[in-house]
């Protein structure tokens, strides 16, 4: 059905609201503290898979703490990065880094931890397939991910990243130090990626039950 003149103001208003929301999320301490309060909630979805297990978290943060029994792995251990400053700004604390290592090249043996958990992290890897395969390698039970949903973040004007592009990046062994959202997903497009690379999905939740701007995927890493 074609748009009518009445639809145009509504569309414009929706875009304005989205723009204001994005700006507030990026620049307003009040808005960020509201998000942090949501981040203090426990996730029933995550707990249903990981409670009672011990594993690792990739890039864990103080202001969105899932309260897991996990060591924190990060590529940097400095406490003065923009991410650590943001943790302090929102929660009054900074989560220490236990192990310094690239998130897609972990210093762990195959199946040596119960789980790998990553929240709002995988989109920062130029080659997310490499990261996924690495996490499945070291986990003996689950890999649980929280991934920003294209429609509920500042990426809403971008198209979901095609699986073929992700496969090409992986084949080319793409590496970059640029810190940005390399990939954009909906739940459906991420599940398509999992199917193409042979990853077994144990469960999903959309939207996520913590902050609500993403979706959750539990991957069965058992052998």
Could you tell me if 178 and 150 lie in one domain? yes
Could you tell me if 193 and 206 lie in one domain? yes
C-alpha–C-alpha distance, residues 193 and 147, integer Å: 13
2 against 157, higher pLDDT? 157
Find, among 38, 2, 42, the residue nearest to 152 by Cα.
38
Could you tell me if 35 and 49 lie in one domain? no
pLDDT in tens, 82-141: 888 888 888 888 999 999 999 999 999 999 999 999 999 999 999 999 999 999 999 999
Could you tell me if 202 and 102 lie in one domain? yes
Could you tell me if 122 and 182 lie in one domain? yes
pLDDT attached to residue 81: 87
C-alpha–C-alpha distance, residues 168 and 154, integer Å: 25
Could you tell me if 16 and 46 lie in one domain? no
pLDDT attached to residue 35: 55
Could you tell me if 30 and 130 lie in one domain? no
Could you tell me if 198 and 109 lie in one domain? yes
Residue range of the domain that includes 208: 42-220
pTM of the full structure = 0.83
C-alpha–C-alpha distance, residues 63 and 92, integer Å: 9
Domain count, the chain: 2
**Contact status, residue 39 vs residue 208, Cβ threshold 8 Å:** no
pLDDT attached to residue 12: 59
Find, among 211, 204, 221, 181, the residue nearest to 65 by Cα.
211
pLDDT attached to residue 90: 81
């Amino acid at each position: 059905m074609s748009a009518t003149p009445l639809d145009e103001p509504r569309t414009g208003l929706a875009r304005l609201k989205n723009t204001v929301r994005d700006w507030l999320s990026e620049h307003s301490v009040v808005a960020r503290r509201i998000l942090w309060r949501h981040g203090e909630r426990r996730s029933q979805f995550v707990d249903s898979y990981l409670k009672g297990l011990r594993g690792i978290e990739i890039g864990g943060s103080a202001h969105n703490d899932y309260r897991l029994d996990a060591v924190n792995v990060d590529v940097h251990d400095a406490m003065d990065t923009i991410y650590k400053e943001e943790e302090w700004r929102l929660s009054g604390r900074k989560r220490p880094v236990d192990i310094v290592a690239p998130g897609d090249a972990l210093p762990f043996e195959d199946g040596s931890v119960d789980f790998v958990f990553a929240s709002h992290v995988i989109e920062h890897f130029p080659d997310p397939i490499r990261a996924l395969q690495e996490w499945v390698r070291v986990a003996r039970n689950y890999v649980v991910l929280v991934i920003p949903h294209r429609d509920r973040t500042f990426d809403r004007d971008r198209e979901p990243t095609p699986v073929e592009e992700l496969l090409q990046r992986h084949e080319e062994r793409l590496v970059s130090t640029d810190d940005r959202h390399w990939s954009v997903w909906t739940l459906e497009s991420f599940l398509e990626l999992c199917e193409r690379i042979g990853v077994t999905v144990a469960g999903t939740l959309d939207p996520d039950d913590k902050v609500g701007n993403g979706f959750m995927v539990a991957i069965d890493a058992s052998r």
